[in-house]
């Protein structure tokens, strides 16, 4: 857990308090997408397989967005006006290129808009986007953090 130092006030001794799960700031919210999302190569393959009609891409996007929306609902997120978004991508291994992995942010942003957490995913609503990656084969997916901007 996180250790927080308590300061002495009015003659009381200072000490260290163990905080196992600090209350989240109302300005920051997070949720975990508990599935390995498709990368750009997967999305392009789906689009190509439909012979220019995008049908398979649309079907796969709807399927993944359904999973993401369930994760958003489980996290009980509150609507936010303008945010900086951080993605921590949990990968099974280092086989997929980092720039291709990031393409899945499209599905996440669209799900946040559909769930009315964000009004839109344009310039007025998204201040910054940050990406980081870890190899974590036990729990692939993506930790998404929204911070008020």
Q: What is the pLDDT of residue 57?
A: 85
Q: How many Cβ atoms from other residues are within 10 Å of residue 108's Cβ? A: 22
- pTM exceeds 0.85: no
Please give the average per-residue pLDDT across 121-142, as a whole number. 97
Give the tokens for residue 38. 């498709």
The DSSP-derived string for 22-39 is PPPPTTEEEEEE-S----
pLDDT band at 46 (very low <50, low <70, confident <90, very high): confident
**Farthest-apart Cα atoms in the chain, separation:** 76
- Residue bearing the bigger pLDDT, 6 or 79: 79
Whether pLDDT at 26 is above 70: no
Q: What is the pLDDT of residue 52?
A: 64
pLDDT band at 69 (very low <50, low <70, confident <90, very high): very high
Instruction: Report the candidate in 55, 58, 57 with the shortest Cα–Cα distance to residue 45.
Output: 57
**Whether the Cβ atoms of residue 126 and residue 117 lie closer than 8 Å to each other:** no
Taking all residues of the chain, what is their mean pLDDT, rounded to a whole number?
85
Residues whose CB falls within 8 Å of the CB of residue 45, separated by 6 or more in sequence, listed in order: none
pLDDT band at 49 (very low <50, low <70, confident <90, very high): confident
Q: Identify the bridge partners of residue 131 per DSSP, sorted by sequence position.
A: 87
Whether pLDDT at 88 is above 80: yes
């Amino acid at each position: 857990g996180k250790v927080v130092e308590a300061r002495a006030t009015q003659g009381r001794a200072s000490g260290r308090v163990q905080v196992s799960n600090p209350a989240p700031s109302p300005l920051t919210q997070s949720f975990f997408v508990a599935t390995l999302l498709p990368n750009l190569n997967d999305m392009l393959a789906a689009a190509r397989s439909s012979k220019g009609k995008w049908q398979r891409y649309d079907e796969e996007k709807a399927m993944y967005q359904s999973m993401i929306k369930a994760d958003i609902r489980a996290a009980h997120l509150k609507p936010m006006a303008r945010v900086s978004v951080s993605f921590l991508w949990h990968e099974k291994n280092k086989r997929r290129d980092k720039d291709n992995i990031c393409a899945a942010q499209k599905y996440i942003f669209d799900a946040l808009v559909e769930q009315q957490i964000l009004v839109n995913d344009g310039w007025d609503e998204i201040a910054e986007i940050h990406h980081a990656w870890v190899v974590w084969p036990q729990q692939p997916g993506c930790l998404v953090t929204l911070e008020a901007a």
